[in-house]
Each structure stands twice: as C-alpha cells, then as structure tokens.
Chains A and B, each alone.
Chain A
Amino acid sequence: MRRLRHVLDIASLERDDILRILDTAEAFFEVSRRPVRKVPTLRGKTVVNLFYEPSTRTRTSFEIAGKRLSADTVNMSVASSSVTKGESLYDTAKTLEAMHPDVVVVRHGASGAPHYLASELACGVINAGDGMHAHPSQALLDAFTIRRHKGRLSGLRIAICGDIAHSRVARSNCVLLRAFGNEVRVVGPRTLIPPRFGEAFDVRVFHALEPALEGADVIMCLRIQRERLGEPLLPSNREYSRTFGVGPQHLSIAAEDAIVMHPGPMNRGVEIDPRVADGPQSVVLDQVEAGVAVRMALLYLLAGDGGSSPEQEPR
C-alpha cells in the first residue's frame, strides 16, 4: 500500500487510497462517541491549520480531529493582505518549515496554493479548500456519509444543485463520485455552471430542478456564495429560491429513500427549504459528524514517520 504524502485533490488519489481513508475513518467514527473522546495516537505530533480564508466549520473540524488524536493543533488565521500571494505564501512556507510541523492544513483563496506549499514543505499538506479548485476532505466526508446511508458508493444517482461554477465542493464531489461509477447530475442556472463543465467532469448538466432530481438517490445542495459573485449573476434570492431552491415538493420526484445533503453553512429559504433541511431525509448533521472522523483519518495517515508496517502485531 503506497503511503499518502499529501491530500491536495481527489484527482490525485487512487480508488484504493479513497477506500483506505474511508475505512480508517470508520474506526475513528466511534472515538467521538466515547465518554473519553481522545486517543493518544498522534501524541507529540504538530498540526498547523493555516487559513487564508474565513472558515468556522472546516477549521473547527480539523482542530477537533487533531485534538482527539492528541496532536498539538495550532491555528494560524492569516488575514488577506495586499502582499502578492506568491511572496507571502513563500515566506509563510519558510516560516512554517522552521517550526517543524508534521501536517499543514491549508485553506487559500487561490487555486493551487496547497500544491505550492506541498512542493516547498517537507511535511504533509492537506488542502482544506483552495479557490474554486478542490475541497477533498469535504468530498471524502460526503462519500463517507453516502456510504453509511446507502450501504454503497457506486451505482447511485446523485444530483448536485446550485452554484456549481464557484464550488470547489462540487468539483471534488464530481471527481470522486464519477470515479466510483455513479451517475452525477449537476443542476443550476446557466450563469452558475461553466461552459463544457459536463464534458470536463463527465457529468450530466441540467438547467431545471425537476428533471435533474428525478429518481435521485442523493440530493446535494450547495450554498449560494454571494460573496463570490463579482457581478450580478442572479436576479434575486427570491427568484433563485423559486427556481432552484430544493423544497418538500421535490422530494417526491427523487427516490423514496433519497438523502439530502448540504456542506454548510446553509442559506435557509434560498437553496434549501427549512422543511427539507430539518426533515427526516436530511443528513446534514451526519455530514458534520463524519467530517471529524474523516479528518482524523487524514491526519493519522499523513502524520506517520513512514516506517514499514510490522508483519505481526506485538503481543
């Protein structure tokens, strides 16, 4: 089994890597439900969370994951500065290097920033979201959640709805879910799905909710990222909600046992109706719980010294 050095995007992981991460996460899932929610596995290891973009849930999730493994977790929140990104990132990389971390978890507004850090640092790098490119840990926790609820990760019909254009979550999910042989449909207004997205990611593109949700086993809603919209690509929240908001009436179009997912934070009443978000088919909070387990698995698999596995367990 090859050793994982970095987790930068889903495309650079093999199917076996993904399954190993998910299987390892299954073991960690239970740790968070114990009376003592901490294991000594990564004692003496240092994990640096380097966040160039505001993030509460992903950063907290990585922080809790590190702490439950007994790693020393340090958060560096870097306010976006006027310094050109190349320079500041280079300086940060060198500064980090001198502190000898074992894993650096990085979120950055520029696509490719984690790849650059990975090339500069001796330690493992996990991409916690870079620009519009990739968010691998989110796609992995989504896969973990789907597998737990559906009992499998292939042959499913999955609809990803909303702002595809600005979504690294959508891109990472498309790559992962297609690699496991699922039918993936993306649906959103023409302004929010890039041209030739369907060909690039081998998915089906829809511009209306109803046909896209027909028979879907999984409905994935995406947040409308208004802060990313440089120009008005949407007439109004209300208009968007009426055309592309997932409401109770849509659940009857989808498969009877369909699950509804959302990476959060949710705009209730915009891309998802509160009755769906809080309904029995919603697995939004399961995704949050899975997030900690999956991130524990990533830290565990990356923070090792890379010795060979012993043939036999010590007695």
Chain B
Amino acid sequence: MSVVLLDADAVARTVRRMATEIVEATEGAQRAAIVGIRRGGVGLAARLARLIAESEGRPLPIGTVDIGLYRDDAATTLPDPKIGPSHVPFDPEGKDVVLVDDVLQTGRTVRAALDCLLDYGRPRRVWLAVLLDRGGRELPIAADFVGRQVEVGGDARVRVVVSSDGSGPDEAAVE
C-alpha cells in the first residue's frame, strides 16, 4: 500500500517555495551554486537551479556528487558496483553551495557528500536542501531548506520522483 505525501502539484509548490527561500538566504543567490547528491537529489537540484535562474535572471553553476567512494560502510558493503562519477564543473571556492538530496534520514549520505564536495575546494558556506525530512538521524546533521517534515517508521520505504523541468510525474510517497 502506498500513501502519497506530495502529489505533482504539491511538489511544484514546495519546490518553488524552497527556491524562494534559497534566494532569500543566499542574498539573491549571487554566489550560489547547486550540487545534487546522486542519484535521488539530481532531479531536484536541476529543478531548483532552474527556478532560481528564472527568478534571478542568470544561470547558476550546477554539479553532482556521488557518495559511493565516501560511504562509511564502503568497506563492508563492497562490492556494490553502483558507483557513478561526480561532476563539479566549477570551483567551489568562495561559493554558497546548496547541497540537494531528495530524502534526509540518517544523515550519513550528507556526511559523505560533504567530504566529497570539500575535495573540490573550499566553499564559503554549504547549505542543505531536502524535499523530505523523515527523521531518524544518526549524525548531528540538519537541513536548512526542507520541503516537508514527515514521520514515518524507520523501515518504511519512501519513494520520491522529482523531474528536472517539472514535466512529471512528480510524487513523494510512502510504500
């Protein structure tokens, strides 16, 4: 059984609000750059970058990080062949980097993504944006921009689909 948390319209509204909050917090996104965490965060990152670029009238640097090589359980869960390339085509030095993921739970992914991002340079500041915060943290990590806070059991599977251009089918659901 699947319970819809956000339908396509709700996703669109939520992402628009997050984009506005990011622009506000980063003083017009002058130095902002968006980095999506592979793979769940990539669609949302592209969507946010697009909305911010539209409202501010200029494109934002955008990148992706793959946490496969930085996982704290990398040694015990090997061989997990699903490693994708990271791609940060700009120098993070001096930037306000917004790290983007679809769901925040334990915080371990974000910890790994931070390590990866910092290997590319030293940002002025790193923010965290997630569509869903489902609780259950195992590390002291908090998001700055949250689409929706939800309480779901630790075992529940949360499925999030966010297209990069709003063409759908966007949805967040618990299965």
Contacts and interface: CB of A to CB of B under 8 A. Distances in A.
The judgment on whether A and B are partners is yes
B20 interface: no
Contacts of B134: 315
A313 B109 contact: yes
Q: Which 6 A-B pairs have the closest CB atoms?
A: A304-B78, A315-B105, A36-B119, A39-B69, A27-B83, A41-B69
A303 B86 CA distance: 22
Contacts of B14: none
B120 A314 contact: no
Interface string B80-109: 111111110000000000000101111111
B75 A45 contact: yes
Interface in A294-315: 300-301, 303-310, 312-315
A313 B103 CA distance: 11
Given A27-B66, A41-B74, A300-B79, 9 more contacts: A36-B119, A40-B69, A41-B68, A301-B79, A304-B79, A309-B77, A313-B40, A314-B106, A315-B136
A306 B78 CA distance: 5
Nearest to A41: B69
A307 B74 contact: no
Q: Which of B85, B87, B106 has the most CB of A within 10 A?
A: B85
Interface residues of A, number: 38
Interface string B99-131: 001011111110000011001110000000000
A45 B78 CA distance: 13
B148 interface: no
Nearest to A40: B70
Contact of A3 (B40, B75, B79): B79
User: DSSP class of B's interface residues: helix, strand, loop or mixed?
Assistant: loop
A314 B85 contact: no
Interface in A1-53: 1, 3-4, 20, 23-24, 26-31, 34-36, 38-45
B79 A306 contact: yes
A36 B68 contact: no
Given A312-B157, A315-B106, A315-B134, A36 B78 contact: no
Interface residues of B, number: 37
A310 B80 CA distance: 8
Contact of A34 (B109, B115, B120): B120
B76 A315 contact: no
A4 B81 CA distance: 11
Nearest to A297: B83
Nearest to B38: A313
B48 to A, nearest CB: 19
A152 B14 CA distance: 42
8 contacts: A35-B119, A39-B69, A41-B75, A301-B81, A308-B77, A314-B71, A314-B73, A315-B103
Contacts of A44: 75
Contacts of A313: 40, 109
Contacts of A38: 119
Contacts of B105: 314-315
Given A26-B85, A315-B105, A315-B109, A310 B78 contact: no
Contacts of B78: 300-301, 303-307
